[in-house]
Structure formats: structure tokens, C-alpha cells
Amino acid sequence: MHDDALSETRSESRSAPTAEAELERRFEAMIADEVRIEPRDWMPEGYRRTLVRQIAQHAHSEIIGMQPEGNWITRAPSLRRKAILIAKVQDEAGHGLYLYSAAETLGIDREDLLDLLHTGRQKYSSIFNYPTLTWADMGAIGWLVDGAAIMNQVPLCRCSYGPYGRAMVRICKEESFHQRQGFEILHTLSHGTPAQKAMAQDAVNRFWWPSLMMFGPPDAASTHSAQSAAWGIKRFGNDELRQRFVDMTVPQAQALGLTLPDPDLRWDERSGHWRFGAVDWDELDRVIRGDGPCNAQRVERRRTAHEDGAWVRDSAEAYAAKHADTTRATAAA
């Protein structure tokens, strides 16, 4: 290599880390100043990867989460209940779409994300691997699962990454409505016949502990919390949000006249919190690893739905291509 070219290459390789360090410095300053990071801004690869992982897991949870409730659409006890449940499940599909769009702004393709879900290489929330055995489960999912989702997701509205934070604002508004409808289903059942009240209690018994697991492992065992907090993605630890959820939910259970299935639950005057018993973390591990009651069924049904929907995607693409041709021809004329 010619000497001049060599020295130019050397000076480039000396300046490259400096330029990278400067970009990193600016990124850190934006995070410290609470300035939102937008898709065109430089970001560290780890930040991008963390967001893709979390947003994708969240999107997958929304669309897999349609299945346990979809199971009860045909068996809803009245036309009104059926219409409300259909609307809720449609909202969840919409949440999945906003979230996949947010993930795509990070340079990953939706088709690839779905492939990662269908081949078990990306996760979705453990909660959707539990079966929905009775109509009361629609109440328990709305009240507890959406309640936990809101507690976890309201702070995500302030996530440092703009497209995710903005998607969360709309999602949280809809989740609040979902939580109210779940509460209302349980309220009706718990003030109905003894058999209806027993059905409501049984649903709460089955969904209570898995709802606490939705917040993730304890902080001490959480792989990502510290870094995600430093990047302004997560605003609170898993344990704090879990505790807030318990504190919010206990008085609501009292208002419903239902019991939370935890003999160790007690009011702690000193801390001003409801103290709760030990969560079965082995169960969470098992469910995350694919060994929950419905994991295989959920993923298989999702794969089949995706394959069955191929013609819709093909038609939409063909239509878009035809429309683009027509627009070009009109512009050229």
C-alpha cells in the first residue's frame, strides 16, 4: 500500500473510535436530559437489541393473548358480553400491530419477528400459557391480567425510545377499559348465585399467582433490569411494580367480595404495603421454558393462523403493487 494511503487509513481508524465515542456521549446526554431517542438517532447496538427484544416480546404477547379470550367469544353469556369481548380481542390485535410497527422502526422486519415467535426463539408473556376454563376467566383476565399489564405499561409511556413510548399511551388507555370490563364481569358474578360466585372465586384462585409472575423474576434475578433502567427503557424494577399491583388489587378484591388465594397476605402498617407470600419462581421458569399448560397449543395455533392468513397478505401486497403501478402511470401521463 502507498504510504499516503496507509497513513490515511491509520488516521481513519484512529478517528473512528473517537467519532463513535462522541456519538455515545451525545446519546448518553440525551438519555440523561430525558430527550426522546427517535429512529434516525444514533443508538448503541445494545440499546437497539434490548428494545427489539422487549417490544417484540410485548407484541407477541398481545397477539398470543388473543387466544385465551378468543376461546370464549362463541360462548359469551349474552349478545352484549359477546360484542364487548370481540372488541377487546380486536384491541389486542391492534396493540400487536402498533408494537410490531414500533419494532420495525429499529430496522427489523415484522415477518422475521413472527418467524422468531413461531420457531420459539422469542418469548411472549407467561400468563397466556394458562387455560381459560370458565366464563369467569374472562373477568379474571380483564381485572388481573390487564390490571398487571397497566401497572407495568404506564411507566413505559415514558420510555426513552419515542415510537415505543407513544404506542404505549394509546395501548394503556384501552387496557384501562379492559380492566374495568373484567372487574364488572366479576362483580356481576360475585353478586349472582352461589354457583356464579364460586366460579368467580375459582377464576381468581387460578389467575392470581400467574398475574404476579407477569412482572418478571425478582430484581435480584433479573438479567436486563439494571441496564434497561440506565437507558430509560424500564422506569421501575420488577419487584416494585409487582408490589404496586398487589397494593392496588387487594382493596378491589375486597370490593368484589372475593378472596385472593394467599394465606400470607397481610397489611403492613409500618411500610404501608400489603405483604404477600412467596411466588413460585420455578413455575415461572417452567412456563417460560415452554412447559406451561398451553404453550404448545398456543404456538401451534398461532403458526396455523399465520399460514391460513397467507392469502390475505399476498392479496394486500398484490393490491399495493397494482395501486403503485396505476399511480406511476397516472403521474407519467
Residues that bind ligand FAQ (CB under 6 A): 53-54, 57-58, 61-62, 65, 92, 123, 125-126, 141, 145-146, 149, 152-153, 213-217, 222-225, 228, 234, 238, 288
Q: Biggest alpha carbon distance in the chain?
A: 91
Q: In angstroms, what is the minimal distance from the CB of 309 to ligand FAQ?
A: 19
Contact of 161 with 228, CB cutoff 8 Å = no
Q: In angstroms, what is the minimal distance from the CB of 192 to ligand FAQ?
A: 23
Q: In angstroms, what is the minimal distance from the CB of 62 to ligand FAQ?
A: 5
Q: Judged by CB, which is closer to ligand FAQ: 217, or 261?
A: 217
Q: Judged by CB, which is closer to ligand FAQ: 102, or 288?
A: 288
Gyration radius (Cα) of the chain, Å: 24
Q: In angstroms, what is the minimal distance from the CB of 222 to ligand FAQ?
A: 3
At 270, is the secondary structure helix, strand, or coil? coil
Q: Judged by CB, which is closer to ligand FAQ: 186, or 197?
A: 186
Q: Judged by CB, which is closer to ligand FAQ: 67, or 190?
A: 67
Q: Which residue do the cell numbers 430509560 mark?
A: 232
Q: Judged by CB, which is closer to ligand FAQ: 53, or 286?
A: 53
Q: In angstroms, what is the minimal distance from the CB of 230 to ligand FAQ?
A: 12
Q: In angstroms, what is the minimal distance from the CB of 123 to ligand FAQ?
A: 5
By beta carbon distance, the residue nearest ligand FAQ is 65
CA–CA separation, 290 and 292 (whole Å): 6
CA–CA separation, 265 and 275 (whole Å): 6
Residue 190, Cα to own-chain centre: how many angstroms? 29
Q: Judged by CB, which is closer to ligand FAQ: 265, or 279?
A: 279
Q: In angstroms, what is the minimal distance from the CB of 237 to ligand FAQ?
A: 9
Name beta bridge partners: 267: 274
DSSP state of 142: I
Q: In angstroms, what is the minimal distance from the CB of 20 to ligand FAQ?
A: 26
Q: Judged by CB, which is closer to ligand FAQ: 175, or 262?
A: 175
Give per-residue burial for 167-183: e unless 16+ CB within 10 Å, then b. bbeebbebbeebbebbb
CA–CA separation, 176 and 168 (whole Å): 12
* Cα torsion through 284, 288, 289, 291, rounded to 10: 70
Q: In angstroms, what is the minimal distance from the CB of 247 to ligand FAQ?
A: 18
Q: Judged by CB, which is closer to ligand FAQ: 197, or 200?
A: 200
Task: Annotate 200-230 with DSSP letters as a single string.
Answer: HHHHHHHHHHHHHHTT-S-GGG-SSHHHHHH
Q: Which residue do the cell numbers 376454563 mark?
A: 133
CA–CA separation, 167 and 171 (whole Å): 6
Q: Grid coordinates representing 240? A: 416494585
Q: Judged by CB, which is closer to ligand FAQ: 65, or 165?
A: 65
CA–CA separation, 167 and 159 (whole Å): 10
Residues contacting 154, CB < 8 A, separation 6+:
168, 172
Nearest to 241 by CA among 263, 226, 220, 219: 219
